[in-house]
Amino acid sequence: MNVVPWILAARPKTLPAAVVPVWVGSMPTLADGNPLTGSWLLFWFTLLSCLCIQIATNFFNDAIDHLKGADTQRRLGPTRAAASGLLRPGTVLVGALAVCLAAALFAIPLILARGWPVVAIGAVSLFFAYGYTGGPVPLAYRGLGELFVILFFGFVAVSGSHFVQAGEWGGWGDGILRLGLQCGLYSSVLIAVNNLRDTEEDRLSGKRTLAARFGEAFARTEILVFCLVPVLLWSLFETESLAALALGFLPAPVGAAVVFCVFRFRPGPVYNRILALGALQLLLFAVAATLRAMLR
């Protein structure tokens, strides 16, 4: 079996959006130095389950966008497996269901450890893996993609990962919800850049992303906000020491490069490189959050 089309359908550049929130939500407990708290075994099962949900979302997206005519020959982004004919849409949909099953299986140890909240989070996440582009109200086609990412790849993933480790929900006071918001905003940079790149194609196909609805100037400003607000939040709340404060600026140079590029260049293939910068920014945020957890 040729695995290359499946790798294309999995969209590797988007996978940090699944890895980082699990890492960020888990680190405050795993890095506290207490051998009686936190579990690396649960961390790995959480990570594998979340990765499967992200990959399933991308598989559904690949197949459904092709079936709806949203991926065309005018496409500026990376090659899509279904639209290019490398895989049949039905085959990709079956693959998505298989990965959803894998996500559920990886979640079993989490359910045994923490109970029904994990079932609730997992069920809703799996539903929206399909509902992001499929179903009667596909979020990506209604301009709700960024909100979805902030909620699920920010608040839900970070708070859920923290709950798995600590057995209790974090709040704004202990920084967990703030980390969730920051993570969601940084993750939204990826979808916002993607939507800005595909503005014209999305308008022609009826995909009403925020960029397609409100135009390129709005989309560029949105990306600026998504890159800037996490740094401002860090500056406001991480003031215990100069070292803690400085860590929040670790992703800032890459964020500045993302903002410069989207304002400098018209939508085109160059935006695929900007997506890579957005992924790097998200990874640097994970590094900053990890170092901050080790300083506490």
Hey, where are the domains in the chain?
4-295
What angle is formed at CA 226 by the lines to CA 223 and CA 267, rounded to 5 degrees? 15
At residue 133 the predicted structure's pLDDT band, cuts being 50, 70 and 90, is confident
Model pLDDT, residue 65: 84
Cα 184 versus chain centre, distance: 7
The pLDDT value recorded for residue 72 is 59
The region of weakest confidence among 15-29, 34-48, 211-225 is: 34-48
Over 80: is that where the pLDDT of 70 sits?
no
Handedness of CA 55, 61, 67, 69 (dihedral sign): negative
Residue 76: what pLDDT? 60
**Chain Cα centroid distance, residue 274:** 16
Alpha-helical (H) ranges within 107-198 are 108-114, 116-131, 145-150, 157-166, 176-197
Average pLDDT, the chain: 91
Comparing 91-100, 118-127, 133-142, 253-262, the range with the smallest average pLDDT is 133-142
| Token duo for residue 243 | 């070292």
Residue with tokens 């005018």: 74
* Contact status, residue 285 vs residue 186, Cβ threshold 8 Å: yes
Mean pLDDT value across residues 84-112: 94
Q: Give the CA distances from residue 69 to residues 2, 43, 48, 142, 220, in Å, rounded to whole numbers and listed in that order.
A: 25, 39, 31, 16, 25
pLDDT of residue 176: 94
pLDDT at 75 over 80: no
Question: What percentage of the chain has pLDDT greater than the value 90?
Answer: 68
Average pLDDT for 275-280:
94
Please state, in angstroms and rounded to a whole number, the distance separating the CA atoms of residues 209 and 262: 17
Closest CA to 160 of 49, 62, 236: 49
> Residue 24: is its pLDDT beyond 90?
yes
pLDDT band at 183 (very low <50, low <70, confident <90, very high): very high
pLDDT, mean of residues 232-254: 93
